[in-house]
Amino acid sequence: MVESMSVESGQRRLAWRTLHPSGWVAVATLLAAIFAHLFSDTSYLIGHFEEWWWWLLLVVGVALSAWHDGLHRLRLGIEAIPKFTLKLAMILAWAVFILQFFNVVTRYSNEYIEQDILYGEVVSLAWQSFGLMFLVAINVGVRDGVNPRIDFWWVNFRNKTKAGLDFAMHTVLLLPFIFMSIRILQHYAAAALGRRHNGEWPAGWRVWQSWEEAVDAGGLAVGPIKTMLLVGFCLFGLQVLAEVIKTGFVLIGRDDYGDIVERDVPQRIE
């Protein structure tokens, strides 16, 4: 009992002394932002962190990277989201099947009853449900590691090598891409919901009247599904952040927080 308590206390002291690799990324970003903001005349975003919460977010990221328990809990909280979105995606999959089955029946029944009973609203709802199914479940694929890779080459790597490659690719390529996409989609989604070019929103409580309409006759408004692009990328970014946290723990030897799972899957080249 005494030995286990001493080991646990030693691990906690080590956790505070060992900075999670994501903390070094946050430190590098913070220093680059300060330099670009004070000494460089750049038009890039990193030199224009005007909002106070940008700086607070970076400082919190550095501080949280030293608190391993808190960072681990954050990851577990993020990874609880795909459990809900996967259930929602399964419901949407059945909805797509039922809607498309209805569309097929009505399409080929027109000639027998000599009347057009193919509803444009149902067709529009089917493809929007199909798109929404992928947008809400994109984080599930990241969590389960179904991203394309060369398995016969990858499988021979040590766990730290795999974690290092994933950490580098996620922080250097994926997270900046997702961050850029979210910045762009904020304005895209707002315009789809009716915000004008001057930044004003339409007055009145009938908000659906300001949504972007479909170009097809009888189609549903496309404003909400375009807004879900922003939601999908936010879910994508959160799960990538969880992967960064997990692989970072493997890199510093905290396999208990890394949750390494050996998956028995067939080798593939994609």
Nearest Cα neighbor of 139 from 190, 68, 89, 65 is 89
pLDDT digits (tens, 9 = 90+) for 146-187: 766 666 677 778 888 888 988 999 999 999 999 989 989 999
pLDDT at site 7: 46
What is the distance, to the nearest Å, from the Cα of residue 2 to the centroid of all Cα atoms in its chain?
Answer: 43
Where do we find the tokens 């027109």? 110
Q: Helix axis angle, 223-251 relative to 175-192, nearest 10°? A: 160
Q: State pTM to two decimals.
A: 0.83
**Alpha-carbon distance 117 to 243, whole Å?**
48
pLDDT digits (tens, 9 = 90+) for 241-267: 999 999 999 999 888 888 766 655 555
Structure tokens at 258: 């890394």
**Alpha-carbon distance 95 to 224, whole Å?**
18
pLDDT digits (tens, 9 = 90+) for 37-71: 777 777 777 766 777 788 888 889 888 898 999 99
**Alpha-carbon distance 237 to 185, whole Å?**
13
